[in-house]
DNA sequence: TGCTGCGATTGATAAATGTCAAACCTTCGT
DNA sequence: ACGAAGGTTTGACATTTATCAATCGCAGCA
């Protein structure tokens, strides 16, 4: 793998504390690949041969069952995905496709497991990462089970607002079709949900959202750190 | 903590490979406590002071938001819970209550973290356990998002049948009220769902289920290893 | 034995969500 | 500039799921 992205990857929590030697060894065995949009990188059920790192573009994780499909996450630079499958040497539970032209570093799972055994700092970082991912997944379950679709949308908007810097005006950064699937609703339902949030000060213009009555929206959404916070 | 349960706990994947010394050290710092039914052991948001091991009875993990409540998991002997919060030293995301008179071993989180650092085999086991839990949670998300409540019930019955040994006749082992919450439906809806499964050979008598047309039910449920299998 | 309380069921109704079809709009490539 | 493709919105309608109220039935207990 070329050198160019190494410093960025090295900065990830997952890799920042490991020894130089082990990091170089991981990188040495990896590939940097560029993919066009809409390429299915992983199909669920496949064995997990590589830990993936998105360094450019974006990748959607999704799942299929019985001819239905749902969006589970959208991975943006710089982050890894399918760490759990890699470590357990188990089949991937989700499929992955590029949403746009993307660059992905592929680290052979075998090397990840080998260096996990050799490098205590790396092992510690892996545990942190896994625990975080696990907790994020629990939060998603709570969001799904405890909230109506309207409430999920309202809270999503507040989270997205925060991610985008906190201003009253921000971009969705996701197609509405995909957002609908992510929030477990149909595009039609999402469209109507936006209208239902208008009384709470949500203005929609294409992918631009403006929140004109912040406290009204928060009052309706009732965000909870135990569901909506990234870090907790 | 008294000695009596140690051999059983030692057999758990999480503890079976660690050094004797470290295991004894963990146990030495732990408490065995007996709780009556319906005691709230943990309230979500609390800091995670102990890793819990249910050695007798059963414990429900559930979550609250906005005056609603949902059942997330039921823990039966012998298993641990809230490992992720313990490791991250983060607040618990779920509450826990005993369903019946139960005995629980409480291992101080601090000791778990300390010995994680000291014992590579324990660290490895923790990673396995976390990765498993993470994957189980992803499967739950897929189940929730991709299936209707009727399909969730049908697949639940097939899983429960397997857990109970695979015979045509088996017990639910859970109040229907709780099962409904676990499957994200109301008790009324669950009751009707059972009736809707009658054409597929599901007979209900109290908590006893008899599956008279196995292949019909499987045909309807379409279980997938990537959602329903324990081990994958 | 007969209460009592609570879970389970049933029926009627309401609310939430999905489906289908059509129209609209934006983007993109020729 | 034009047309095609596909995402978005809207309306009408169907289905799923929840809510409310009443009843049933069983387990625990005086």
Span B6-144: which CATH code? Answer: 2.60.120.10
Identify whether the C-beta of residue B91 lies closer than 8 Å to the C-beta of residue B46: yes
Q: What is the pLDDT of residue A123?
A: 95
Q: Which tokens sit at B175?
A: 């109040």
DSSP three-state, residue A44: coil
Sequence-distant (≥ 6) Cβ neighbours of residue B218 within 8 angstroms? B158
Q: What is the pLDDT of residue B4?
A: 77
Q: Report strand pairing: A202-205 vs A208-211.
A: antiparallel
CATH class name, domain A147-228: mainly alpha
Across the interface, which of B45, B134, B227 has its CB nearest the CB of A226? B45
Which of B44, B88, B133 shows the shortest C-beta gap to A128?
A: B88
When pLDDT is averaged across residues A218-228 and rounded to a whole number, the result is: 98
Handedness of CA B181, B184, B187, B190 (dihedral sign): negative
What pLDDT, on a 0 to 100 scale, did the predictor assign at position A5?
82
Strands A79-81 and B68-75, bridge-based pairing: unpaired
- Indicate yes or no: CB of A117 within 8 angstroms of CB of B120: yes
The C-alpha atoms of residue B152 and residue A111 are separated, in whole angstroms, by 38
Residues with CB under 7 A from strand C: A 148-150, 184-186, 188-189, 206; B 175-177, 187-188, 190-192, 194-195, 204
Binary contact (B123, A120; C-beta < 8 A)? yes
- Chain A, residues 206-225, CB within 8 A of chain B, namely 222, 224-225
What is the residue extent of each domain of chain B? 6-144, 147-228
Q: Determine the Cα–Cα distance for residues B5 and B103; give it in Å rounded to an integer.
A: 10
Cβ pair A131:B88 closer than 8 A = yes
Q: What is the largest CA-CA distance in chain B?
A: 57
A136 touches chain B (CB under 8 A): no
Helices vs strands, H then E, count in chain B:
11, 11
Topology of A6-143 in CATH? Answer: Jelly Rolls (2.60.120)
- CA A148 from centre of chain: 22
Per-residue tokens: A197: 């949030």
Q: Are domains B6-144 and B147-228 of this chain identical in fold?
A: no
In this prediction, residues A165-171 reach a mean pLDDT of 97
DSSP, residue by residue, B188-213: HHHHHHHHHTGGGTEEEETTEEEES-
pLDDT tens digits for range B73-108: 999 999 999 999 999 999 999 999 999 999 999 999
Average pLDDT score, chain A = 96
pLDDT of residue A82: 94
Exposed, middle or buried by CB within 10 Å (0-12, 13-18, 19+), for B17?
middle
First CA to last CA distance, chain A: 35
When pLDDT is cut at 50, 70 and 90, the band that residue A16 belongs to is very high
Indicate whether B9 pLDDT > 70: yes
- Mean pLDDT (whole number) for B6-20: 96
Contact at CB, B117 and A124, closer than 8 angstroms: yes
Do B111 and B29 form a contact (C-beta atoms < 8 A)? yes
pLDDT value of position A203: 97
Protein CA B189 to sugar C1' C12 (Å) = 14
Gap between the Cα atoms of A93 and A82, Å rounded: 9
* pLDDT of A3 strictly over 90: no
Which tens digits make up the pLDDT trace of B29-43? 999 999 999 999 999
Residue nearest to nucleotide D16 (CA to C1'): B148
- Write down the pLDDT at residue A181: 98
Condensed to tens digits (0 to 9), the pLDDT of residues B177-221 reads 999 999 999 999 999 999 999 999 999 999 999 999 999 999 999
Better-scored residue on pLDDT, B232 or B13? B13
- Give residue A4's pLDDT band: very low, low, confident or very high (50, 70, 90): confident
Distance CA B172, CA B179 (A): 9
Report the nucleotide nearest the CA of residue A151, measured to C1': C16
SS3 content of chain B, % helix, strand, coil (to 5): 45, 25, 30
pLDDT of residue B145: 98
Tell which residue, B118, B127, B111, B73, has the closest CA to residue B95: B73
Is A173 within 8 Å of A159 (Cβ atoms)?
Answer: no
Give residue A2's pLDDT band: very low, low, confident or very high (50, 70, 90).
low
């Amino acid at each position: 793998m070329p050198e160019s992205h190494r410093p960025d990857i090295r900065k990830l929590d997952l890799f920042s504390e490991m020894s130089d030697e082990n990091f170089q060894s991981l990188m040495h065995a990896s590939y940097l690949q560029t993919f066009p949009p809409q390429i299915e990188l992983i199909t669920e059920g496949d064995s997990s041969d590589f830990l993936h790192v998105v360094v450019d573009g974006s990748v959607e994780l999704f799942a299929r069952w019985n001819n239905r499909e749902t969006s589970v996450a959208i991975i943006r630079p710089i982050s890894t995905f399918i760490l759990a499958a890699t470590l357990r040497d188990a089949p991937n539970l989700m499929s992955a496709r590029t949403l746009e032209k993307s660059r992905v570093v592929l680290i052979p799972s075998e090397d990840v497991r080998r260096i996990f055994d050799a490098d205590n700092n790396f092992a510690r970082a892996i545990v942190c990462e896994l625990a975080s991912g696990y907790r994020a997944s629990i939060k998603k379950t709570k969001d799904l089970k405890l909230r109506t679709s309207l409430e999920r949308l309202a809270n999503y908007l507040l989270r997205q607002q925060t991610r985008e810097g906190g201003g009253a005006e921000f971009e969705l950064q996701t197609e509405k079709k995909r957002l609908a699937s992510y929030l477990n609703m149909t595009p039609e339902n999402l469209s109507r949900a936006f209208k239902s949030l208008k009384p709470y000060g949500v203005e929609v213009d294409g992918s631009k959202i403006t929140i004109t009555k912040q406290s009204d929206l928060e009052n309706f959404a009732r965000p909870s750190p135990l569901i909506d916070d990234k870090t907790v």
